Amino acid sequence: MAGLWAGHVRDGHGDGQSQPPATHSGQPGPDASQSPGSSDEDDAAPGSPQGPEGPETGAVAGPDGSRTEVPRGWKRFDAFREPDRVSYEAPAGRANRVIIFKVPEQTLAASLHAASQRGRKTLTAYHQNAYRVGPGTAMREFTYIHQKFGEQLAVDHRFATNDKRYAVIAYGPPDAAEATRQVAHRAVTTFRSTD
């Protein structure tokens, strides 16, 4: 878990330019909806969906014109239809998904605390497995029972960049916990604000 906790605060480019983040190859990433073989360079072994740091990823739009990366092949879905909230799902469906949004609370600690309290009140069989707050970042992991997908693990990261606060929450089955953590980690560490 320490590897996931370290280095979660990412500053934007600071130059006012909106650029897609780099993929594992160091080159700007294609849209996540492109197939894995559609980029010019591919660090994954032939026929392998895994690169040296987890699944191959592609650049996608986040809230407010921001950019981040999700696994290639994941598609955007608009379950919330809110401009400050963007969601992507795996090709197999929403049991594996990531939601990226701006947080309204004034601090990351307050945001994470409020989310945790809502979870305790509204999610069936909510169990918080981890909860940490540090300088410029906050995270929690929890499980709950989703009425459609069954037991779900959620990895929730709150972070600040360019004086704005965001959240990335990745969901997946508990038996794929490391893959879910990688999705959240990659979305946070490649996040670029437009400011």
- What is the pLDDT at residue 16? 31
Distances (CA, A) of 135 to 50, 116, 158, 161: 31, 19, 11, 12
Judging by DSSP bridges, how do beta strands 50-51 and 54-55 pair with one another?
antiparallel
194 within some domain: no
The answer to whether the Cα torsion of 109, 22, 58, 193 is positive or negative is positive
> What six digits make up the tokens of 95?
């049991």
CB 142 within 8 A of CB 154: yes
3-state class (DSSP) for residue 6: coil
In angstroms, the Cα distances linking 193 to 14, 46, 66, 80, 99 are 9, 33, 4, 21, 16
Q: Which residues span the domain enclosing 44? A: 2-189
Position 195 in a domain: no
- Let me know the angle formed at the C-alpha of 84 by 80 and 86, rounded to the nearest 5 degrees: 55
CATH number at residue 19: 3.40.1000.10
- pLDDT value of position 133: 97
What is the per-residue pLDDT across 138-184, written as a single tens digit (0 to 9) for each?
999 999 999 999 999 999 999 999 889 999 999 999 999 999 999 99
Kindly indicate the confidence band of residue 194, based on its pLDDT and cuts at 50, 70 and 90.
Answer: confident
Q: Tell me how far the alpha carbon of residue 23 is from its chain's centroid.
A: 15
In a domain, 66, yes or no: yes
CA separation for the pair 133, 5 (Å, rounded): 10
**Residue 50 covered by a domain:** yes
In a domain, 153, yes or no: yes
Question: Domain total for the chain?
Answer: 1
Per-residue pLDDT tens for 37-95? 333 222 222 222 444 455 699 999 999 889 999 999 999 987 667 778 999 999 999 99
User: Is residue 90, in this structure, part of any structural domain at all?
Assistant: yes
